[in-house]
Amino acid sequence: MSVFLIISCLDCGKKQEYEKLDNRVLENKDREYQEKKQTILQRSEAWYDAQYYVRSFPKCKLLDQVDLWEMGCRKEKTHFLIKYEGDSCLLTMVPPGDECVFPLRTESGRLNFRKVLTLIEHPFIHKTRVTDFWLDQGKAVIFSNYSEEGSLRDVLYKSKPTQKFAQKYKNFETKSATTLSKGKTALYGRQILEALIYLKECGIPYTHLHTGNVIIKNDVARITNVENGLLNLERQNERLLRQFSKKSPKFSKMDLNVITFGVLIFEVSSGYVLKNLSQLDENPLDVDITQVIDVIFKDGEKCPTLEDLANMPIFKNVKISQKTPLIEFDEKIRKLLKIANEQCKELRRGETTNKKKMSRGARSPQNKRRTTTASQASSPP
């Protein structure tokens, strides 16, 4: 009898375990279904928003059903292919960060934001064609030229820019399909440095450098998404930068663009995304490239500048056209840029809030949708 009871208890225990397991499986499936359903709804909503917005631009045409919902890693940032003035362009919509310094709900705030982006004319910075702010949706709107070659990361992974992020970078945690030659690393590296130095001298914040934010076209590298710094969006490599700052006080004092440049050079040369400093010794590189990596990540307490890097042998010998004249902003814009620069120097401690929050000055009223056209919200430039 006691044996029977023991067996019965064991059977009951197993049955309960199976029931718990079945419940977890069902819960996971239900969660996946709800997430998929939510994604489809968000995707449809974004597509409808894009159609609605584009109607206010007579020279703009949305390419039917060509949406790039999951092209990038930011779920709050939506992209669409359009034709603008006969050129292929990328339409991007994104809510500002929760501490965006530009009061985008005011006409002057939108005008200043637009001035900063559209006045940038540099051979190694991707051109912004149109900058707007959609009041109803609380989103910044950017038109930029589209490159079929895609980003530097697309080149490394031999992928197409229109593919989903998870598909084209499925080996993102391991190794890219290819690396750059020393010559290409020198060329693209110098071009990127020139762009970063220019933005710094103009007082425009930019700490969002990574291989996905460098557009390649006709053997020219151009940094893109300059608006990210102005909108105070969280950096893709925020965790890595926090990790470095904890490792050594040197990284807390160093220009973040210098650190992210070092991360980029390591990735294009080794094929690996830099996750921790121990990787630097595990992947032997060309001696000139190693010198750059060592200056940034190893050489004691010395904090190199962007100019120091540009004068290193591997980059110094790359021929660059004459310097681009700097932009002279008015005093009000300079003050806003100064605050934005201070924000960009800070490392965030927690997870991003940009996906759920918008700037205080740009928050969209709840339950108010499509009451005015985009052109009524703010006149396009």
Are 271 and 176 contacting, i.e. CB atoms less than 8 angstroms apart?
yes
Are 143 and 134 contacting, i.e. CB atoms less than 8 angstroms apart?
no
What pLDDT is recorded for position 371?
Answer: 36
Are 363 and 138 contacting, i.e. CB atoms less than 8 angstroms apart?
yes
Instruction: Spell out the domain ranges in the chain.
Output: 47-377
Are 310 and 258 contacting, i.e. CB atoms less than 8 angstroms apart?
no
What pLDDT is recorded for position 351?
Answer: 42
CATH code assigned to 47-377: 1.10.510.10
Q: Say which residues have a Cβ less than 8 Å from residue 60's Cβ, sequence separation at least 6.
A: 54, 82, 83, 84, 143
Three-state SS at 372 = coil
Residues 133, 360: Cα–Cα separation, whole Å:
14
Residues 72, 83: Cα–Cα separation, whole Å:
20
Q: Say which residues have a Cβ less than 8 Å from residue 254's Cβ, sequence separation at least 6.
A: 296, 303, 304
What pLDDT is recorded for position 219?
Answer: 92
Give the sign of the dihedral formed by CA 98, CA 361, CA 326, CA 227: positive
Q: pTM here?
A: 0.80
Predicted confidence pLDDT, tens digits, the chain (381 residues): 554 445 555 556 655 665 665 666 666 766 766 666 666 676 777 778 888 888 888 888 887 655 565 655 556 788 888 899 889 888 888 999 888 999 999 999 999 999 999 999 999 999 999 999 999 889 999 999 988 888 999 899 888 776 666 666 666 666 777 899 999 999 999 999 999 999 999 999 998 999 999 999 999 999 999 999 999 998 888 888 888 888 888 888 899 999 999 999 999 999 988 888 888 888 889 999 999 999 999 877 789 999 999 999 999 999 988 788 999 999 999 999 999 999 888 765 544 444 444 333 343 333 333 333 333 333 333
Residues 118, 381: Cα–Cα separation, whole Å:
9
Residue 137 CB-density burial (10 A; 0-12 exposed, 13-18 middle, 19+ buried): buried
Residues 169, 76: Cα–Cα separation, whole Å:
19
What pLDDT is recorded for position 177?
Answer: 75
Q: Measured between alpha carbons, how far apart are the two ends of the chain, in Å?
A: 88
Residues 35, 165: Cα–Cα separation, whole Å:
17
Are 70 and 40 contacting, i.e. CB atoms less than 8 angstroms apart?
no
Of 151, 121, 157, 117, the closest CA to residue 133 belongs to 117
